[in-house]
Chains A and B, each alone.
Chain A
Amino acid sequence: MRIITSFLLALFFTATASAQVDAIDKFFNQYQENKDFTVVYVSPKMFQMVSKATNEVEDKELKALIAGIKGLKILTTKVESAKYYAEAIKKLPVNEYETLITVRDKGQNVKFLTKGTGDIVNELLLLVGGGEDFVLMSFVGNLDLNNIAKLAKKINIDGAEHLEKIGKQ
């Protein structure tokens, strides 16, 4: 009986975890081909290669940051940002994340959602909407939040500047 209960619990947790990833993937897939959206996807293998090739001394921080990232997805648009923000909040399992930062300024909402403990998180979700841009950024891996803030200067894409807010926290 105990074995069956353990098995069912394991099955339940696996299904829940995969449902969360599926929800983000589904949202990305839904708008991947939409011409209004800019989409970026970088696979774990790509991060692994870049991390290996990066200079250990001169780019110590960047190397540490990249080594921790196992996946990155970015979805942005300048069209109907409030609508897409509301849709993302509705469709993504945001209540399963811990809210790190919430900012509401002149109609623009910025939400940082994390999973993990302390400064090291396993998943970071950035949601921006209501203003000029809609941004959905998903990081997966062993992420140091201090390093993520530094990444803001390295990513040349709309919405990445919001990552700096983590450092100011």
Chain B
Amino acid sequence: MKNTFYLLAIIATFIFSSCNRNPINKIFDTAKKEDNVIAVSLPGWMIKKGVSMAMKNDTVVNDVNTLNTIAGAIKKVRVLVKSHSSEAFTANMNKQVDNLSSKNFDTYAFIKSDENKVTVYGKEDKDKLKDLFFYVNGDENMAILHLKTDISIAEFQKLNLSFNKDKQKNN
């Protein structure tokens, strides 16, 4: 009787944890099982180091310190690129990505041109951007990018990005 109880408890725990699994992890796990896949995962400290090195001579961002703060809020970046996608795989991925809307993810932007589609999803919690997910779907190729973050929406204000290219050239 005790063994049966333990078995049921383990099964219940497994089912519960599967149901609550991060949908992004599930997408990455599904894609990783396929052939022709390249996946890279970078920890937060590496991103921060890389951004601070890359931004030393950049004029787009006026406040490097703010960018460093934002880079510091990125906990993890994952990229996965898959080539020669089958129709079944693409359909499965589309289904899983579409399902993000029911898991508290908002569609931030969607762009489609010819066979290429880019969809940007975001998940916020208490005015903080927790997840940013890019889904790029081409004819036979697919790429997904996930940023696990803890960026306060207010921090964006401090970024002070300039899109005025002419002024930048003159400076």
Of A12-20, A47-55, A101-109, the one touching chain B:
A47-55
Contact A39:B62 (CB < 8 A) given known A49-B153, A59-B164: no
Q: Is the CB–CB distance between A45 and B157 below 8 Å? A: no
Contacting pair A53 B110 (CB below 8 A)? no
Q: Is A35 a contact partner of B107 (Cβ separation < 8 A)?
A: no
From residue 12 to 61 of chain A, which have CB atoms closer than 8 A to chain B?
32, 35, 37-43, 45-46, 48-49, 52-56, 58-59
Name the residue among B107, B110, B115, B154 with the largest chain A CB count within 10 angstroms: B110
Partner of A37 from B110, B112, B124 at Cβ < 8 Å: B112
Give the residues in chain B near A40, CB-CB below 8 Å. 109-112
Residues of B within 8 A of A39 (CB): 110-113
Decide if B162 touches A45 in the complex (CB within 8 Å).
Answer: no
**A46 contacts B120, C-beta separation under 8 Å:** yes
Nearest CB on B from A58, distance (A): 5
B14 within 8 A of A: no
Q: Which of A41, A52, A154 contacts B156 (CB 8 A)?
A: A52
Q: Which of B116-171 contact A (CB under 8 A)?
A: 120, 122, 124, 153-154, 156-157, 159-164, 167
Minimum distance in angstroms from B153 CB to a CB of chain A: 7
Residue B114 lies at the interface, judged by CB distance under 8 Å to chain A? yes
Residues of B within 8 A of A41 (CB): 107, 109-111
> For A49, what are the chain B residues with a Cβ–Cβ distance below 8 Å?
108, 153, 156
Q: Which chain A positions have C-beta within 8 A of B156? A: 49, 52-53
Closest to A28 in B: B110
Interface size on A, residues (CB 8 A): 22
- A43:B153 contact, CB within 8 angstroms: no
Residues on B with C-beta less than 8 A from A38 are: 112-114
Contacts A41-B107, A46-B120, A59-B163 given; indicate if A53 touches B112 (C-beta within 8 A): no
A46-B120, A58-B164, A59-B164 known; A53+B159 contact, CB < 8 A: yes
* A37 vs chain B, min Cβ distance (A): 7
- Chain B residues with Cβ below 8 Å from A45 are 106, 108, 122, 124
Tell me if A92 is interfacial: C-beta within 8 Å of chain B. no
- Please name the residue on chain A nearest to B111 by beta carbon: A40
A53 touches B109 (CB 8 A): no
Q: CB-nearest residue of chain A relative to B119?
A: A41
In the assembled complex, the CB of B32 is this many whole angstroms from the nearest CB of chain A, namely: 27
Residues on A close to B: CB < 8 A?
Answer: 32, 35, 37-43, 45-46, 48-49, 52-56, 58-59, 62, 154
Residues of chain B at the chain A interface (Cβ within 8 Å): 62, 106-115, 120, 122, 124, 153-154, 156-157, 159-164, 167
Pick the 4 closest A-B CB pairs, nearest first.
A41-B110, A39-B112, A55-B162, A52-B156
Chosen A-B contacts, 29 in total, with CB atoms closer than 8 Å, are A35-B115, A38-B112, A38-B113, A38-B114, A39-B112, A39-B113, A40-B112, A42-B108, A43-B109, A45-B106, A45-B108, A45-B122, A48-B153, A49-B108, A52-B157, A52-B159, A53-B156, A53-B159, A53-B160, A54-B161, A54-B162, A55-B62, A55-B160, A55-B161, A55-B163, A58-B162, A58-B167, A59-B162, A62-B164
